[in-house]
Structure 1
């Protein structure tokens, strides 16, 4: 006889307990506090309910693969004094996320279903949703809906810590319509596998909220042995504005071995141009991103590096120190940041 699952999550405002039995719907033992009016917490509770449902589904249907991992970051940023446009106080922060994944194996007909729910936790006890999506289809085509990131046209490699925004200017990386939008935005992507080496992705972002981006993002990836080429465009319209923010990005990746890869990227949007080069060799990763706009103040160059060590000899546990150094254009001072990330897959 299968035992019931009793999951208790410690969150701001108390302990939320979710219990379920195989074949039964999850039952919540605590209701959200209406006096708080905490939208983020309501969303996190919803995501936790999804997590419990996935647990139950896994037990009731053995063909569903279930996994999760935790990521905890301790981050330091240096002090930058005014009148620099990127002035900030020195700070030490703690944050992280919990990621839950559910996948069904591909059937004999090639059909599959995938889903992910990722929760962000903060030092003040608040929480939010990072990823929350479902993807389904077959070996020929699939559809992805929810809060997710589309094809990466400007891969950063081992991006444990990369400060690309300096003084309000950030290197363009063909990322305006890539994803992880708020609740007021619809995001979907159709994927087409046109052969073993060619994948086409057609992304659509739609919203009516002023100041937010919407539009169409087609992208394509071609793989030939260890070489992967990507290219795509963004047809962007900012709601409430007449101007369009169209851009494009291309990248090439070369896989030297299972855990060693080199990425090169280029992106352009109007007067903004960006280049990036990075590499991962085993546990080490490093890279540089340079972006430049129309004025002397619109400039940002970021150098970053990270290295992962096994943590206490425990399988799936790693600790990764990382550094980021950024130099901006006229009116800015140099930015330095450091991070220690703890990963545990369970």
Structure 2
């Protein structure tokens, strides 16, 4: 009998896929289960300049991926719920990765406990970032020597390699609070070295990231911080003095939305070993057109033996969405551009920051199914 039920369910799912273009939702006494996802493929052009070396490099490529989302929810008579989500990613390069993979339970419009792999509250939204790069090769969650670091309060936000995550959130009418954690080895936050020295983990890190957000009418504001609670979790491999894992960040973000208009203003500050990083940003989205500006400063102490003074990075980016292609609500084409510049205003002790102007353009094909 159970085999017969499973066979009927599988046949219903197959029929649903054929009739509903890849979207399937099942509702029964056990709860709901859905399958969906999105397609995202890009045509990219970039040109990077190195003023110190006196040369330019450019490249044209195609990147992208298909995301499949499996989601389920079960509600109880007592008002509680249980949810899960898994999002495998199939890259055009042939690699298979994973976005979200989590399990949660709680009460609707009240509290929730979540475990797994996910992203916590976004404290540095950048709007419609079809193409957003920064001078150097440093991402907002990866520190690389000789490149500007655009700190955005995301070191403890989530999806950090093999580190596990636990988050508790609670809503009180217009007030939202959460406390998220990342637990595990966080040496992968650093691409290779820190101030020219190799790193190692002496113990697992515990990064705590509380957030408080308040919404009133069309205005929303949020404040947060993140810090590693474990002393000497990340240290220099050669035994040099210094607690590299002792990084404390602070940030605020505000949003105003009215009709087709949305404006974000962000600020973040990081106090790290022999280095302080600050970032300011603003972006505007109106009727499919997006424009943003990000300004970052990395201020090094001479005690680092790496650099003395400031490195500045300025980035401007823009994009436009051509929506409802072929009259399909879920199919859009985006055109995006960015320009970024790094300026070294300090004194190099052992560093090699490459000044120059980088820019790029992208055409993105996006379809939700």
- TM-score (ref. length: structure 2): 0.71
2:82 counterpart residue number? 113
Deviation at 1:143, TM superposition (A): 1.4
1:181 counterpart residue number? 160
Describe how 1:260-275 pairs up with structure 2 within 5 A: 260-270=261-271, 271-275=276-280
Bigger CA drift: 229-238 or 214-223? Answer: 229-238
Task: Provide closer, same or farther for how the CA distance between residues 307 and 210 of structure 1 changes in structure 2, counting only shifts above 3 A.
Answer: closer
* Greater share of residues in strand: 2
1:245 counterpart residue number? 247
1:203 aligns with 2:197: no
1:314 aligns with 2:328: yes
Deviation at 1:189, TM superposition (A): 0.9
1:254 aligns with 2:256: yes
1:123 aligns with 2:123: no
Q: Give yes or no for contact 1:73–1:96 (8 Å, CA) kept in 2.
A: no
Q: Give yes or no for contact 1:78–1:336 (8 Å, CA) kept in 2.
A: yes
Cα deviation code 1:194-238 (max 9, x no counterpart): x11111110111114645564111111111111111000011367
Q: CA RMSD in A?
A: 3.1
Task: Provide closer, same or farther for how the CA distance between residues 110 and 125 of structure 1 changes in structure 2, counting only shifts above 3 A.
Answer: same
Q: Give yes or no for contact 1:174–1:247 (8 Å, CA) kept in 2.
A: yes
1:226 counterpart residue number? 218
1:312 alignment partner, SS class: helix
Task: Provide closer, same or farther for how the CA distance between residues 82 and 326 of structure 1 changes in structure 2, counting only shifts above 3 A.
Answer: closer
- TM-score (ref. length: structure 1): 0.76
2:312 counterpart residue number? 299
Unaligned residue ranges in structure 2 (runs of 5+)? 11-22, 137-145, 190-204, 236-242, 301-308, 345-353
Deviation at 1:316, TM superposition (A): 1.0
Deviation at 1:115, TM superposition (A): 3.2
2:339 counterpart residue number? 325
Distance 1:127 1:63 in 2: 27
Q: Give yes or no for contact 2:25–2:32 (8 Å, CA) kept in 1.
A: no
1:283 counterpart residue number? 288
Bigger CA drift: 173-182 or 211-220? Answer: 211-220
Task: Provide closer, same or farther for how the CA distance between residues 117 and 58 of structure 1 changes in structure 2, counting only shifts above 3 A.
Answer: farther
Distance 2:29 2:154 in 1: 39
2:38 counterpart residue number? 69
Cα deviation code 1:78-134 (max 9, x no counterpart): 143574599755241322231415253766644333433333333331221122223
Cα deviation code 1:304-337 (max 9, x no counterpart): 1111113222231111111111111223111112
2:141 counterpart residue number? none
Cα deviation code 1:14-73 (max 9, x no counterpart): xxxxxx74668xxxxxxxxxxxxxxxxxxxxxxxxxxxxx96966896744543222222
Distance 2:88 2:209 in 1: 26
Unaligned residue ranges in structure 1 (runs of 5+)? 5-19, 25-53
Distance 1:309 1:59 in 2: 38
Q: Give yes or no for contact 1:171–1:274 (8 Å, CA) kept in 2.
A: yes
Bigger CA drift: 101-110 or 328-337? Answer: 101-110
Q: Give yes or no for contact 2:37–2:69 (8 Å, CA) kept in 1.
A: yes
Bigger CA drift: 78-87 or 225-234? Answer: 78-87
Which structure: larger Rg?
2
2:131 counterpart residue number? 161
